[in-house]
Amino acid sequence: MPHAFVERLLRLPERAFFLFGPRGVGKSMWLRASLPDAPYFDLLESSLFLELARAPDRIEAMVGQRPEGTWVVVDEVQKVPALLDEVHRLIETKGWRFALCGSSVRKLRHGGANLLAGRAVTRHLECFTSSELGPAFDLSRSLEWGSLPLVSLNPHHAADILDAYVNTYVKEEIKEEGIVRNLPPFLRFLAVAGILNGQVVNRQNVARDASVPRSTVDVYFSILEDTLLGWSLPAYRPGVKVREGAHGKFYWMDAGIARAAAGLLRDPPDRIWRGFALETLIYHELRVFNHTADKHRAIAFYRTAAGMEVDFLIETRTRTSSHPAHVVCVEVKLADRWDRRWEAPMRALAMTPESLVVDRMFGVYAGTREYVFDGVEVLPVAAFLGRLYDGEVF
């Protein structure tokens, strides 16, 4: 069991920022712990919400006389997008620093809200990582149930918590969107997308399996991504800016949430599911490290000409006209023994004369021994994650 309070990796930025993250990942708790003395406006409080929705400029008087550099927290900012015009003005006139928290960029963006054009940086919070949980990190539990804070803290109630989580998400986030007026097709889509966790998504097939129009499938995936519940993993093409494409993979932010969406909470996960769950976990850790260590590197998967795949490629140097791109490869296998054939896709990539240099190759597996096989570092999951957070992977 983790301690009552789990220290997060995310550090407070120097200046104004948006903090986005799905429901229940600990955004409010992190804000209160990071800015204990700041005036805190929680727009979930209905009287505050009503007052500020009617008169957004009142926030200035509510903060009162405070010096330049004062931090002010606005939680659930998406509920009153108009407040952002006021925030913009107060940053300029008072020099106050704002922490603006929300569970969806989508509502702000679609509402045409003032996103403060460069005056605020963006930060993300996700489920607990292995390094945040420390000794309480339990790989097999994470593969089964994920690491949503409430799930990690109450492992015996994981199924009920995850079930309620997805239901609440559907009710609050999705219905409120207005885009999804009709719930049954969205629920069918969720089940299909849950089962596809970690796989290349053929949106035509998703449309058929969920009986929803193809164009609606695009909207649904973008809702999952905007509410940060899912992340696409693009296919890497050297020299081409990495971006989401029709041939990308889709990973849920957390294996437990994928399982809930798929409707598999009451079935023991099979081996194939757990394999994708391990990839989901590694992708989560790569993303969080990439973000909190300020690396901002492109992460993708790679498919060789022969159709072999490398699970994760991190671009550590961008290609220019004078030098090739550099990448680090990570191949993930849920197995107690490492099979050297699994190195083949990484080695094939390293041999390609394409404009690409493979700096390091990692094999991550569920065994206990470490190896170095001719340039490929094979590591147990915990050892790999330890090196990742020590900055020794990228």
Ligand X SMILES: Nc1ncnc2c1ncn2[C@@H]1O[C@H](COP(=O)(O)OP(=O)(O)OP(=O)(O)O)[C@@H](O)[C@H]1O
Q: What residues make contact with ligand X under the rule CB under 6 A? A: 5-6, 8, 21, 23-29, 103, 149-150, 153
Binding range to Mg ion, per CB under 5 A, among 23-31, 146-154, 214-222, 374-382? 23-31
26 binds, among Mg ion, ligand X, none (CB under 5 to 8 A by kind): ligand X
18 in Cβ contact with 120 (< 8 Å): yes
Q: How far is the CB of 132 from ligand X (least distance, A)?
A: 8
Least Å distance, CB 324 to ligand X, is 41
Q: Give the range of 19-27, 117-125, 289-297, 386-394 binding Mg ion by CB under 5 A.
A: 19-27
Q: What is the DSSP letter of 63?
A: H
* Residues whose CB is less than 8 angstroms from the CB of residue 219 and which lie 6 or more positions away in sequence, other chains included: 179
Q: Which residue is nearest to ligand X (CB)?
A: 26
The nearest distance, CB 58 to ligand X, in angstroms, is 23
Closer by beta carbon to Mg ion, 19 or else 393: 19
Partner from ligand X, Mg ion, none contacting 6, C-beta within 5 to 8 A by type: ligand X
| Least CB distance to ligand X at residue 289 (A) | 18
Distance CA 365, CA 386 (A): 14
In 3D space, the residue among 292, 293, 274 whose CA is nearest the CA of residue 334 turns out to be: 274
Comparing CB distances to Mg ion, the nearer of 28 and 78 is 28
Name the minimum Å distance from CB 171 to ligand X: 13
Minimum Å distance from CB 27 to Mg ion?
5
Among 21, 28, 108, 283, binds Mg ion (CB under 5 A): 28
Residue 75 beta carbon to Mg ion: minimum distance, rounded to whole angstroms: 6
Segment near Mg ion (CB under 5 A); pick from 24-32, 49-57, 259-267, 275-283: 24-32
Q: Residue 380 is encoded by which pair of tokens?
A: 């147990």
Geometric angle at alpha carbon 319, from 316 and 321, rounded to 5°: 155
Q: In terms of CB distance, is 216 or 292 closer to ligand X?
A: 292
Q: Please, which residues have CB within 8 angstroms of residue 133's CB and are 6 or more apart in sequence?
A: 2, 6, 147, 152
Residue with tokens 């918590």: 161
Q: Is 78 in the site for Mg ion (CB under 5 A)?
A: no
The residues, ordered by sequence, that sit 6+ positions from 373 with a Cβ below 8 Å of its Cβ are: 340, 343, 363
Pick one of ligand X, Mg ion, none as the site partner of residue 150 (Cβ within 5 to 8 A by kind): ligand X
Closest CB to ligand X among residues 276, 389: 389
Residue 70 touches which of ligand X, Mg ion, none (CB < 5 to 8 A by kind)? Answer: none
Which does residue 135 bind out of Mg ion, ligand X, none, counting CB within 5 to 8 angstroms by kind? none
CA distances from 226 to 162, 221, 241 (A): 20, 9, 21
> Smallest distance, Å, CB 22 to ligand X?
7
CA distance 54 to 304: 57
| Count of CA atoms in the C-beta half-sphere (13 A) of 279 | 27
- DSSP one-letter string for 223-237: HHHHTTSEEEEPBP-
The one of Mg ion, ligand X, none whose footprint includes residue 88, by CB under 5 to 8 A per kind, is none
Report how far residue 30's alpha carbon sits from residue 288's, in angstroms, rounded to the nearest whole number.
15
User: Which residues sit opposite 144 in a β-bridge?
Assistant: none
Cα 320 from chain centroid?
29
- Window of 26-34, 145-153, 349-357, 362-370 that interacts with Mg ion by CB under 5 A: 26-34
Tokens representing residue 214 in the block: 């193809």
